[in-house]
Structure 1
């Protein structure tokens, strides 16, 4: 339960709020926030880490006073299993001091092997949880004084945790991008492990399957340079979603799918050939890829040009990229397997 503010804590919270809302980078803002937190806690060691929703790896935003081995341990799964998960810190949503723990602190590896040998006697560990209940990282501060952090200092930390979670949340850039889309547009963030994180709209069960192929498809289409790309993805009822993917800061990928309302009457085979035209393949190369004759390819190309009402292969490729009429190898294999 939140404690009452003293005059000193009110000032600290206000200064931290101002630092969090500045135009500086995430790491610069966190350094300033920790400096302000140092006015109420004699900080001897500190670290802020963020959980990447794409890779699920923990990476340092800023650290001070900890050895490289301590930093590596705090970012490890071992630390998560020892300190974050057992004490329900993401659910608790409040800072925990060593003296608040229900076990002997010296029984914990982080204390016995890392903090105590460095003369760090107390501290506060807090999970960073967003308003929509996503665990996005943690903040840890340590002191060389058993009396700190004080109750007043814990009050400050408790009240600024939502602010800190918002600062480090990797999906902030994705949310800003989604805010520029139309309100009726479905938008999700993609994780490298196949996780689909809803950002806007109603993501119905069975949409965007197979999930495991989504991120590799987008990564392949974006390559190293593109900030956005468009392609087709199958719907459960044998139709297509027209998808546009955007690469945001921190390499978060936002996907905005919508039901394709006009496919120009193109068959799946014609879409496959159109995709290969975009890749610059010749008729002979397309024939080899699709195990059909060059003559059949020429006939399909003529049909594609007629349906798109364009005069040349280059114009067809341009129209395909503009409208996202592109299939990935994963989609082709998946659709074929579904029809068997």
Structure 2
């Protein structure tokens, strides 16, 4: 193990400080440029965020490249070259001479970097502590002399902090903490997959393509950053017969594949509303008329009117439209799509 000089310690401290600052991953990546240039002299540099669904390296920082090179860095070939160079898995930082294949066989190098006068690199993949591939950091130079072993080792030490700086799960975890009583949760991705949330267990209700996930996705399509509603659990794994579903939209930061945080919190029947009344509210939230609600629930309009009178009293509303608005705003309803397939009697 190499000993850190005072200058090395200063660089690592600065990178660590940037890594834990608030803001977006792109803002932190841009702030990392100056300390990175003190690790080894370079004429150009880039940091990318890896999109696992599109298998693309999304740019967070690009410095010093020609327009032609930057267009190449935006394309899919960069990802293929990074994989061919072995940088999609944990390994020490590499220079041109350390690559497992000749640089001339990598189109990003042979067709773009070399014609732009770039002759050397110091590059490493960025990985979270749990092994997730987060992106890549590369420093390029017109000087053909390779970076020294000390520079290579220092970038390796800095890589974990750089990875932390660009990790999109930091934002996701902060969003999840907004719902302090959550007992289960997942993240919904651009492609419709669900990914477990660190620190929270999964739940059968949150399986991909489950009715709850479909309902949550439909409600988020309106663009609201926060959506909440109620969902019954007829096989209560957490001892709760009713969950509050909270769905929060993830900011569209690169790589952009994490779209919504969906959390479950056990709740008693709120405001004394019964499960049947919550189903009625779900239909009213959709704007259904009373005759249509009565027909869907297989009850008479007069029976429905009696339930509605109780609902208005419990919500402190003077009309069914006011009750529906309050139920929507407070998430005090069971979505209509869950009500309609029901064959048993809720009364």
Instruction: State whether TM-score is above 0.5.
Output: yes
Tell me which residue corresponds to 2:252.
Answer: 250
Tell me which residue corresponds to 1:170.
Answer: 168
CA distance in 1, matches of 2:153, 2:243: 49
Pairing 1:303–2:312 present: no
Tell me which residue corresponds to 1:327.
Answer: 335
Pairing 1:313–2:317 present: no
| Structure 1: unaligned runs, 5 residues or longer | none
Give the secondary structure class of the aligned counterpart of 2:261. strand
Q: Is the 8 A contact 1:54 1:190 kept in 2?
A: no
Q: Is the 8 A contact 1:26 1:167 kept in 2?
A: yes
Tell me which residue corresponds to 2:224.
Answer: 226
Deviation at 1:105, TM superposition (A): 1.2
Identify if the C-alpha distance between structure 1 residues 192 and 225 changes in structure 2 by more than 3 Å, giving closer, same or farther: closer
Q: Is the 8 A contact 2:57 2:79 kept in 1?
A: no
Pairing 1:46–2:50 present: no
Structure 1-normalised TM-score?
A: 0.79
Q: Is the 8 A contact 2:57 2:78 kept in 1?
A: no
CA distance in 2, matches of 1:68, 1:220: 40
Q: Is the 8 A contact 1:208 1:235 kept in 2?
A: no
Structure 2-normalised TM-score?
A: 0.77
Pairing 1:195–2:194 present: yes
Give the secondary structure class of the aligned counterpart of 2:275. coil
Pairing 1:276–2:283 present: yes
Pairing 1:266–2:268 present: no
Identify if the C-alpha distance between structure 1 residues 207 and 319 changes in structure 2 by more than 3 Å, giving closer, same or farther: closer
Tell me which residue corresponds to 1:148.
Answer: 146
CA distance in 2, matches of 1:151, 1:48: 21
Identify if the C-alpha distance between structure 1 residues 322 and 20 changes in structure 2 by more than 3 Å, giving closer, same or farther: same
Give the secondary structure class of the aligned counterpart of 2:201. coil
Write the mapping of 1:55-204 to structure 2, written as runs, cut at 5 A. 58-84=57-83, 86-182=84-180, 185-193=183-191, 194-204=193-203
Identify if the C-alpha distance between structure 1 residues 233 and 74 changes in structure 2 by more than 3 Å, giving closer, same or farther: farther
Deviations 1:110-168 (A, max 9, x none): 11112111111111222221122222222222111222332222122111111111111
Identify if the C-alpha distance between structure 1 residues 324 and 191 changes in structure 2 by more than 3 Å, giving closer, same or farther: farther
| Structure 2: unaligned runs, 5 residues or longer | 254-258
Identify if the C-alpha distance between structure 1 residues 222 and 292 changes in structure 2 by more than 3 Å, giving closer, same or farther: closer
